[in-house]
């Protein structure tokens, strides 16, 4: 009988540093729905019903979080109220599920989470690409099992059930995706452990409760230009300058943005003309508007958000005192 040892860089051992890191990468991200539960260590299972400022919303996908934010952002000077319709099911970091029947029960789990922006175990800056194939030898019954893991849930449960009686290997190479979309091919557990440690803090895990701080993470000038120039007749929905409200200053004025940088404004039998230009990327896109005769619109605005629910909206800000929001109903 010849004993062939499994290479150390391919053997996955229970509670080893790389196994713990893999478990943290594959754990359930509880921060994705903080706009609802303000809790990083669990998420609420779809579907659920919430009432947002009196409007009933069926939350059956992550897209509904944007609808909730849209309603919250409708007015700046109101008190936003969100009520959850119980019972609901919360999903913990290890994917275990708990039925919650009221606010008191929900709060009892929420207070045990790490607070806003505090460290938690889950790693969101890397993602495994599936499937991942494993082979396990059970030293007690000498059985060999091969498994094809196809999701974070399956990987998390697989790692959770590792014991000292199991000799487990991963069929390398495997791929991981970084937060910027880069894919890495890894050839053994040593490379995997080093990569997780190197990149685990390379992104904002968005564990805060400020739903407005990342609205333009994916914005670009091309998308903004397409939105503004393919939807004629923009109306001023909100306008604040130096903390003074001018929402009705341009009531009935229709703003038409053109791809060549010209801007026409029409009201009654009157018109005015000016220019606009957008530069930058993501959360740092600046839009310069200059329309002689309409000074309240003129500024170097920062693009805060582009959104759509009942209307198309483009929201510009400067600091906390100036705001210009256009909306429109387009085909």
pLDDT in tens, 279-316: 999 999 999 999 999 999 999 999 999 998 888 999 99
- Supply φ then ψ for residue 272, to 5 degrees: -140, 155
CA separation for the pair 225, 322 (Å, rounded): 22
Is the domain spanning 221-328 CATH 2.40.128.270? The answer is yes
pLDDT tens for each residue of 210-257: 888 778 888 999 999 999 999 889 999 999 999 999 999 999 999 999
Nearest to 13 by CA among 170, 197, 192, 164: 164
Could you tell me what percent of the chain has a pLDDT over 70?
96
pLDDT tens for each residue of 42-96: 999 999 999 999 999 999 999 999 999 999 988 877 889 999 999 999 999 999 9
pLDDT of residue 331: 61
Domain ranges of the chain: 8-26+124-199, 34-110, 221-328
pLDDT tens for each residue of 258-275: 999 999 999 999 999 999
pLDDT of residue 97: 97
Please give the full DSSP string across 27-38, using - where no structure is assigned: S--TTTTHHHH-
Non-local CB neighbours of 233 within 8 Å, separated by 6+ positions: 254, 255, 256, 328
- Supply φ then ψ for residue 46, to 5 degrees: -75, 150
Among the ranges given (128-137, 138-147, 263-272, 287-296), the one the predictor scored with the smallest mean pLDDT: 138-147
Q: Are strands 312-318 and 299-308 parallel, antiparallel or unpaired?
A: antiparallel
């Amino acid at each position: 009988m010849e004993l062939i040892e499994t290479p150390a860089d391919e053997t996955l051992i229970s509670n080893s540093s790389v196994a713990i890191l893999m478990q943290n990468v594959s754990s359930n991200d509880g921060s994705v729905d903080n706009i609802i539960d303000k809790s990083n260590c669990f998420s609420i299972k779809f579907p659920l019903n919430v009432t947002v400022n009196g409007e009933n919303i069926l939350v059956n996908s992550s897209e509904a979080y944007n609808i909730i934010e849209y309603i919250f952002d409708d007015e700046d000077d109101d008190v936003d109220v969100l009520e959850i319709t119980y019972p609901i099911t919360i999903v913990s970091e290890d994917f275990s599920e708990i039925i919650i029947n009221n606010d008191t029960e929900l709060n009892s789990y929420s207070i045990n989470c790490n607070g806003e922006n505090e460290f938690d175990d889950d790693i969101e800056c890397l993602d495994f690409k599936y499937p991942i194939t494993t082979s396990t030898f059970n030293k007690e019954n000498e059985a060999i099992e091969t498994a094809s893991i196809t999701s974070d849930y399956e990987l998390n449960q697989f790692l959770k059930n590792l014991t000292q009686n199991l000799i487990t290997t991963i069929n390398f190479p495997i791929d991981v995706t970084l937060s910027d979309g880069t894919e890495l091919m890894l050839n053994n557990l040593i490379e995997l452990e080093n990569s997780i440690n190197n990149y685990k803090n390379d992104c904002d895990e968005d564990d805060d409760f400020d739903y407005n701080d990342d609205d333009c993470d994916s914005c670009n000038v091309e998308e903004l230009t397409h939105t503004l120039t393919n939807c004629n007749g923009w109306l001023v929905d909100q306008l604040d300058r130096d903390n003074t409200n001018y929402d009705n200053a341009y009531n009935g004025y229709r703003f038409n943005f053109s791809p060549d940088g010209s801007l026409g404004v029409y009201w009654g039998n009157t018109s005015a003309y000016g220019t606009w230009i957008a530069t930058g990327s993501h959360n740092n896109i600046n839009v310069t508007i200059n329309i002689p005769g309409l000074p309240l619109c003129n500024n170097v605005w920062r693009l805060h958000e582009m959104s759509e629910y009942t209307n198309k909206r483009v929201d510009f800000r400067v600091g906390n005192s100036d705001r210009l929001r256009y909306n429109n109903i387009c085909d």
